[in-house]
Structure 1
Amino acid sequence: MDSLADPHLRFEPVVADPTGPRELVILGSTGSIGTQAIDVVLRNPDRFRVVGLSAAGGRLELLAEQALQLGVRTVAVARAEAVPELRAILAAKARPGAEAPEILAGPDAATELARMECHSVLNGITGSIGLAPTLAALEAGRVLVLANKESLIVGGPLVKAVAKPGQIVPVDSEHTALFQGLMGGTRREVRKLVVTASGGPFRGWSRDRLAGVTREQALAHPNWDMGPVITVNSATLVNKGLEVIEAHLLYDIPFEQIEVVVHPQSIVHSMVEFTDGSTIAQASPPDMRMPIALGLGWPDRVPDAAPGCDWTRAASWEFFPLDTEAFPSVGLARAVGALGGTAPAVFNAANEECVDAFLDGRLPFTGIVDTVAKVVAEHGAPTQGTSLTLPDVLAAETWARATATAYVREGGR
């Protein structure tokens, strides 16, 4: 099986670079990844030009400001009812005589935008709703700069069926680190991938203590500034489980060769161990602009994308084994990934519902993974292999959300 993200392929772009800046579409532009990507673009106008933006529609003022500042041709918004307000904001903020961008609206707007003529599509949407835009971008021949791990996880076989080797460049800090580390040898020389985890705000806590975690505590990540769902996923380590599945799918490395180690400083973002005993680690301060810039600029690096390590100052880096009793999510994700088929879609959708329930005060912190495990067990044998279709994935997600909601309503019983 070819790797979906192959760092050894310093490939000719799928869409040839135009004369001048590389044209980009950014999906999820008002979220954490999107806003940081725009910062990279604005600091490198000679390298990048954004031609399309998409957002859910909850931050229309910001979306309009982005569209006008970047001079994009097209804006996509998922909430069709937000279009009149968006038009009004664009009209009020636009320079006299400036041409208003085209507006696409509705649940399929981001998918339509992903097919737009450009070089690369950055998928920064949160959640499995990013699957359809991921497939659209790949089918259109775009380079997919992937921050939406859920689309790969829930639709792995579908993505593998359409992606060309090297067409996906990962943006997660861990997978960017693996991407770079894998350049140090051939695939047959890889002994294991080591995915690092900060441990979140509750490193060292017992399971009993975790039961009383509050919303505010779970959203206070010690190292990273992220959206609420990803932040809670980092606190439960579900995010790390998803990353193990993603690493397996991206690099075609067996699950038994992928480990997780806790590294509280979040400086070493992941490591590759080779068969001769060498380990290559990628290190940088926790700043998503570096992996975003590498994804947007690949196969070239973007100078000064983010600050590097300050080697003139004393520092200590620590590594600890994962506490699988307090944080069972990684083991559950590994089992789900090995099942394949619709099982990862069930895992991810149930988790999204449980995170929402926790944030709303309807589920305790430890109830998130406990409930997800019950939904996965009830799901049983998944739809498997090459027979998997997009309707299969969507049906599995719908079932998982309903089942998780029922468990939450019943108090987790």
Structure 2
Amino acid sequence: MSDRPSPLADPHIAFDVSEGRRDIVVLGSTGSIGTQAIDLVLRNPDRFRVTALAASGGRIGLLAEQAHRLKVRTVAVAREDAVEELRTALKALYGSEPLPELLAGPDAATQVAASPCHTVLNGITGSIGLAPTLAALEAGRTLALANKESLIVGGPLVKALAKPGQIIPVDSEHAALFQALAAGTRADVRKLVVTASGGPFRGRTREQLAHVTREDALAHPTWAMGPVITINSATLVNKGLEVIEAHLLYDIPFDRIEVVVHPQSYVHSMVEFTDGSTLAQATPPDMRGPIAIGIGWPERVPDAAPAFDWTKASTWEFFPLDTEAFPSVGLARHVGELGGTAPAVFNAANEECVEAFLAGRLPFNGIMDTVTAVVTEHGKPAEGTSLTVSDVLEAETWARARARELAAKATAEARA
């Protein structure tokens, strides 16, 4: 860990607290993070106002309802073929009122990320969130970051643009670390401990995972999330990505970032200090708490999420990670240490394999087998080269194509 202040999330950074309401742009508004953020905003109209929304275009009715209820200035949709359906839905709700500005296309979310506001909440799923992340930072917005993939695939690019304290993490684990780190200086930190629920398959061996179904993998025991993130939780790829994210956010070496399985998902992560003290941040599983930290920091939002009833008995368990059944965390550490385009290759290959698994074209264990093969084939990135957006996009394109080839080959061999 270097002695310099982290260029990203740092709870010791002094923030200017603006008077009145904060203007918020919500990217991925119809997804799990976006809908919960909007619920939080609507319950706190004196604190927050949403000025723009962006979504993929898969839930047009919901997007139109959000725009109308929030009275936003701009609505962006990634699918250009969804514009007319969106305009029709908006007209039905707005009547004679003027419609918000409509943006469409793959760059629409990037455009609204740079629009005038205080905070951009990036709740997009996948590496397509990188361009909006960079746009928000370049425009000087505070970035409430739920899109971990943009930091994973473009870590050096993001860190080069981010000013001290400009990024506030929204992942429950990193929001927990962010809060716990406020109790000491960077020199006091011995290690970060990232908790994992263990997903729906905790305790199963690799052999027992060979024939799990799509429905099995989507049945997460503690969190309600989108399908991609839920599958990533089942493989623990999500935890591997979070280890890389913690390294990038807090400049802690990989050998000082541990993962521990905590089935109840009450403790969201911990910081161990050099004096032997460990501080844990704990709440019942609910993403509105981390979202409130992301859009409200340094102030807390009263009753953002449920609290514990300490008059009731409860049991909190912690177990070591089974690295044989779940090799994803070790592979993530490896690509994180390689740096360059290796994390982008890991993430892109995983996204393709998750899609193949959800479509029934790849078995569960085949996800990590294929990702490992793609990462191994990619090899070590060239040393001494500066990462560019083009490098990331080129590496992702190759990784996706190679993952599809290997997945198709595995499927054909299994059916032969």
User: Normalising by structure 1, what TM-score?
Assistant: 0.97
Give how far 1:184 is off.
Answer: 1.0
CA displacement 1:249-269 (0-9 Å, x = unmatched)? 000000000000000000000
Q: In structure 2, what residue type is equivalent to 1:11?
A: F
Q: In structure 1, what residue type is equivalent to 2:69?
A: Q
Instruction: Give me the whole-angstrom Cα distance separating, in 1, the residues matched to 2:405 and 2:141.
Output: 40
Instruction: Give me the whole-angstrom Cα distance separating, in 2, the residues matched to 1:385 and 1:353.
Output: 29
Instruction: Give me the whole-angstrom Cα distance separating, in 2, the residues matched to 1:11 and 1:399.
Output: 41
Give how far 1:384 is off.
Answer: 4.9
Instruction: Give me the whole-angstrom Cα distance separating, in 2, the residues matched to 1:306 and 1:114.
Output: 26
Instruction: Give me the whole-angstrom Cα distance separating, in 2, the residues matched to 1:24 and 1:207.
Output: 44
Aligned to 1:178: 177
Tell me if the contact between 1:157 and 1:386 (Cα under 8 Å) persists in the aligned partners: no
Q: In structure 1, what residue type is equivalent to 2:309?
A: D
CA displacement 1:306-342 (0-9 Å, x = unmatched)? 1111101000100000000000000000001000000
Instruction: Give me the whole-angstrom Cα distance separating, in 1, the residues matched to 2:114 and 2:42.
Output: 23
Change (3 A) 1:258 1:21: same
Give how far 1:20 is off.
Answer: 2.6
Aligned to 2:68: 68
- Residue 23 (1) aligns with residue 23 (2): yes
Q: In structure 2, what residue type is equivalent to 1:53?
A: L
Change (3 A) 1:384 1:179: farther
Alignment of 1:103-118 (within 5 A): 103-118=102-117
Instruction: Give me the whole-angstrom Cα distance separating, in 1, the residues matched to 2:240 and 2:44.
Output: 34
Aligned to 1:243: 242
Instruction: Give me the whole-angstrom Cα distance separating, in 2, the residues matched to 1:238 and 1:122.
Output: 23
- Residue 406 (1) aligns with residue 409 (2): no
Alignment of 1:363-378 (within 5 A): 363-378=362-377
Tell me if the contact between 1:33 and 1:124 (Cα under 8 Å) persists in the aligned partners: yes
Instruction: Give me the whole-angstrom Cα distance separating, in 2, the residues matched to 1:266 and 1:144.
Output: 25
Percent of aligned pairs with the same amino acid: 75
- Residue 80 (1) aligns with residue 43 (2): no
Aligned to 1:166: 165
Give how far 1:369 is off.
Answer: 0.6
- Residue 48 (1) aligns with residue 48 (2): yes
Aligned to 2:11: 7
CA displacement 1:40-73 (0-9 Å, x = unmatched)? 0000000000000000001000000000000000
Change (3 A) 1:385 1:23: farther
Aligned to 1:350: 349
Instruction: Give me the whole-angstrom Cα distance separating, in 1, the residues matched to 2:148 and 2:388.
Output: 19
Change (3 A) 1:384 1:250: farther
The SS at the match of 1:410 is: helix
Q: In structure 2, what residue type is equivalent to 1:133?
A: P
Aligned to 1:260: 259
- Residue 362 (1) aligns with residue 361 (2): yes
The SS at the match of 2:272 is: strand
Q: In structure 1, what residue type is equivalent to 2:350?
A: N
The SS at the match of 1:387 is: coil
Instruction: Give me the whole-angstrom Cα distance separating, in 1, the residues matched to 2:22 and 2:314.
Output: 38
Give how far 1:168 is off.
Answer: 0.2
Tell me if the contact between 1:37 and 1:289 (Cα under 8 Å) persists in the aligned partners: yes
Instruction: Give me the whole-angstrom Cα distance separating, in 2, the residues matched to 1:163 and 1:20.
Output: 25
Q: In structure 1, what residue type is equivalent to 2:72?
A: V
User: Normalising by structure 2, what TM-score?
Assistant: 0.97
CA displacement 1:185-204 (0-9 Å, x = unmatched)? 10011000000000000000
Give how far 1:246 is off.
Answer: 0.1
Change (3 A) 1:61 1:249: same
CA displacement 1:361-385 (0-9 Å, x = unmatched)? 0000000011000000000122456
Tell me if the contact between 1:340 and 1:385 (Cα under 8 Å) persists in the aligned partners: no
RMSD: 1.0
Tell me if the contact between 1:383 and 1:392 (Cα under 8 Å) persists in the aligned partners: no
Q: In structure 1, what residue type is equivalent to 2:389?
A: L
CA displacement 1:347-398 (0-9 Å, x = unmatched)? 0000000000000000000000110000000001224566110000000000
Give how far 1:99 is off.
Answer: 1.8
Aligned to 2:199: 200
Change (3 A) 1:384 1:397: farther
Aligned to 1:38: 38
The SS at the match of 1:411 is: helix
Give how far 1:81 is off.
Answer: 1.1
The SS at the match of 2:410 is: coil
Instruction: Give me the whole-angstrom Cα distance separating, in 2, the residues matched to 1:293 and 1:385.
Output: 40
CA displacement 1:3-34 (0-9 Å, x = unmatched)? 21001113226xxx3x5311000000000000
Instruction: Give me the whole-angstrom Cα distance separating, in 1, the residues matched to 2:28 and 2:263.
Output: 28
The SS at the match of 1:302 is: coil
- Number of residue pairs matched? 408
Instruction: Give me the whole-angstrom Cα distance separating, in 1, the residues matched to 2:267 and 2:33.
Output: 20
Give how far 1:98 is off.
Answer: 1.7
Q: Unaligned stretches of 5+ in structure 1? A: none
Tell me if the contact between 1:146 and 1:169 (Cα under 8 Å) persists in the aligned partners: yes
Instruction: Give me the whole-angstrom Cα distance separating, in 1, the residues matched to 2:238 and 2:383.
Output: 23
